[in-house]
Amino acid sequence: MASVRQLQLSPSSVVVIVALWIVGGTLENSCQDLESIEPCDVDAVLDVEFGRCGVRVTPAAASAAPRITYSKAADDKKYLLVMVDPDAPSARNPKMRYWRHWVMSDISGSSLKSGHLDGVTLTEYNGPSPPRGSGPHRYHLFLFEQPGELRSSSGLGNGNRGKWQLRDFVRDNQLCHSLVASYEFISENQLE
């Protein structure tokens, strides 16, 4: 590998290269790297009423859709919100990954700022329902800036929610470079 000296880069060139590397490693590569994103380790974390990113929430406490705000939302933009469980039916055997818990499109920036989401519900909110004995489940919320009308929203009803092809949905709707914020909470069925 060539060193900075061998390439004869100016200090400003190095800054640009480092900046591109940092951006490339966060939310910009969301289509290719969506599955490897740690929702709490990104530049922009959603403000969700459950508390800090990564908090544990009982299924009962998350049975209703949470209030979500995003202070950086632009009033003239539309957004798409997705909530999935990557650990269905368990983290040891996630054969039903990504269980689709909630999808809303056409959310106005102003409603994101206020926490009163006014978008179009494509999949009704379904709170956490991890199977008994399956251990902790992570629930990921991803907020995308919506570039226009969705190209593909078929199959997003309230029927079969398991094994949803999240990456395909993101790619088909040209959302690959539109992830603006995320959040994660953890829930577990403690009943024996």
Cβ atoms < 10 Å from Cβ of 88: 25
pLDDT bucket at 191, cuts 50 / 70 / 90: low
Q: Which two tokens stand for residue 18?
A: 């480092």
Q: What per-residue confidence (pLDDT) applies to 32?
A: 54
pLDDT tens string 42-96: 778 899 999 999 999 999 999 999 999 999 999 999 999 999 999 999 999 999 9
Asked whether 37 and 86 are in contact (CB, 8 A), the reply is no
Calculated CA dihedral for residues 37, 121, 119, 173, nearest 10 degrees: 50
Judge whether 146 and 73 are in contact, CB under 8 Å: no
Mean pLDDT of 95-100: 92
| pTM for the whole structure | 0.81
Closest CA to 167 of 157, 156, 175: 175
Q: What is the pLDDT of residues 138-187, one digit of tens each?
A: 999 999 999 988 887 767 877 889 888 898 899 889 998 899 999 999 99
